[in-house]
A = this chain, B = another copy of it.
Amino acid sequence: MSTGIKIHLNEHLFIRDPEDTGLGRDIIQTSVRMIDTLGFEQFTFKKLAHEMGSTEASIYRYFTNKHKLLVYLISWYWVWQEYQIEINIKNIGDTKKQLLKVLDIIANPTVDFTKNTQIDIEALYRIVISEASKSYLTKEVDELNKKGMYADYKRLCKKIADLILLLNPDYIYANALVSMLIETANQQAFFALHLPSLTNIKKNKDEKIDVSNFLSQILFAAIKK
């Protein structure tokens, strides 16, 4: 399915496009693994360079700093999600069923997808759960937003909001509802793992967390006429 797709991202996200070179792809691959295991705060370019057998200076030719690399990775994820959603709903006629599928993909992104050769999607999904909000929760947010760094996330939200408006054109909170649902998907997954008393979602038999029922209950209750 997603094997070999090339994801092109806003050029402000990097200095040199990491998709273009072996070293660039290695930076992405290795940083995903390392941020997943170390957490974003403990992750450094020095450790990354050491792990890759490269140098700090080489990495700085691709990304100005580790925060930009995080923004890049999260953006990559949203583009990948948009693609997954697109190919999975295009043959569904009913808008309500399309939305159910969308929520399922958002809540269970690593189920039922073909392995991507480049990026460890399961690790990236864990990064999204724990670190995604740090990509915008920064004093730089307005500056970065002006440069279009959150465009991929915003486009994904808009597409889903448009589906909602198809079902209920009078609903005035479509954008808020969508961003809430996406953020909630990751947040509740985090709570299920670390602060279980804040949620009702539990691991199922396969040790997986499925927030999609909660999300769809909220969504369809909210937009009911």
CA–CA, A199 to B136, complex, Å?
Answer: 15
Give the size of the chain A interface in residues (CB under 8 angstroms): 48
The SS class assigned to the A binding surface is helix
> A175 near B200 (CB under 8 angstroms)?
yes
Query: Once the chains bind, are A198 and B154 in contact (CB under 8 Å)?
Result: yes
- Alpha-carbon separation in the docked complex, A139 to B184 (Å): 20
Given known pairs A139-B39, A154-B195, A222-B221, the reply for A200 and B172 (CB within 8 Å) is: yes
**Is there an interface contact between B141 and A133, defined as CB atoms closer than 8 Å?**
no
In the bound complex, what is the Cα–Cα distance between A157 and B199 (angstroms)?
Answer: 10
- A7 interface hit (Cβ, 8 Å): no
Interface residues of A (CB under 8 A from B): 38-39, 41-42, 130-131, 133-134, 136-139, 141-142, 145, 150, 153-154, 157-158, 172-180, 183-184, 187-188, 190-191, 194-195, 197-201, 214, 217-218, 221-222, 224
